[in-house]
Amino acid sequence: MTCFKDLTPYAYLADCEPLTPKPLNIGWLGVQMPFETGFTPQKFKDKLLRFCLDEYIVLITRGFHACEFCWFPWTQWDAHDREDRYGSSAHWASTGNGEIRVLGKSAVYAAPALIYHYVVEHHYKPPDEFIEAILAGEPDSEEQTRLLSKYRGRHIQTRSSMNTYNIRIRDERETDIAAIHDVTAAAFADMEISSHTEQFVIQALRAANALTISLVAEVEGRVVGHIAFSPVTMTDGTQGWYGLGPVSVHPDFQQCGIGKALIREGLSRLKALNASGCCLVGHPQYYRQFGFENVEGLSHEGVPQQFFFVLSFNGSIPRGQAVFHAAFKAEAPPAEG
């Protein structure tokens, strides 16, 4: 699912959105974009859950969007799991295959159905005006019912929601280089925290013969994802460590498990090389599902500790600093020899 900043005009399924002007985005979260966290009152959470019940969901897609921050995604829990965790009302809560609309004082708000999960499990704090709209409204009020009636019959089948691709993971070939560049640039194009130089980093690693592992994900003959692993220098002299990244999936194919497949295959390849371990800079929650963790005593210069992750293959953790290849400073294509 694409990420959008709160209170920006709705754009995810804009062609299917009947309202003019467009609703305002709320809670379109993902690992590539920081979001505000904080306390939200229980009364707000209880009311929000009611807005997220299946009968009020709009723009329903064929497939499900899994929470990117969870070890066990919300969408993989069955109804009884959710009921045990959140109460009887959550038995009927949508599991990430649609959106909600909330009528506010001066705007309509558009949020993914997973917003309740984001608030409860990941402490997401929506803007105050959205919280006020939830507290002041009722999902079955006359005004809200009239609003939702505009969405009747608008069930969506999007390519990214179908999640039925036959994915092939393989080593990169020389003929893939242009596609890898394009996929990487497209994947990071809308990420505010990106420097938008990831494609140049890959080119520089390749030019320096430092792409220890370079894998592509292929769907129907098209390269749609890529992952790179390169050597990392540990200041204490420990050998055999590698850095993960960049990893990218074309926006048209995101949320289909391609990124996870690339990561798992890449880590498997590292282990086959008898690597000592792998480290990366990434989102504080996403990479834990692969075994990565924050550790004391090892850091990466200029990176807050909560964003630096380590996965040891032999139980031993280096001390000091991890230094990634100089290619990670690339800001343009390498000069041709």
For the chain, list the domains and their CATH numbers. 14-160 (no CATH), 165-329 (3.40.630.30)
Q: What are phi and psi of 46, to 5 degrees?
A: -65, -40
Cα 47 from Cα 49, distance rounded (Å): 5
Please say whether the beta carbons of 230 and 330 come within 8 A: no
**Which residue carries 């939702």 as its tokens?**
148
pLDDT value of residue 322 = 98
pLDDT value of residue 288 = 85
Residue type, 10: Y
Chain centre distance of CA 7: 19
Per-residue pLDDT of the chain (337 residues; tens, 9 = 90+): 578 999 999 988 887 889 989 999 999 998 778 899 999 999 999 999 999 887 888 887 655 566 777 644 434 444 444 445 445 444 334 356 789 999 999 999 999 988 998 999 899 999 999 999 999 999 999 999 999 988 876 544 443 433 456 789 999 999 999 999 999 999 998 776 778 899 999 999 999 999 999 999 998 899 999 999 999 999 999 999 999 999 999 988 877 778 888 999 999 999 999 999 999 998 777 788 889 999 999 999 999 998 999 999 999 999 999 999 999 999 998 776 5
Q: What are phi and psi of 245, to 5 degrees?
A: 125, 160
pLDDT value of residue 38 = 95
Of 186, 201, 194, 181, nearest in space to 243 by CA: 201
Residue type, 6: D
Cα 145 from Cα 136, distance rounded (Å): 15
pLDDT value of residue 215 = 97
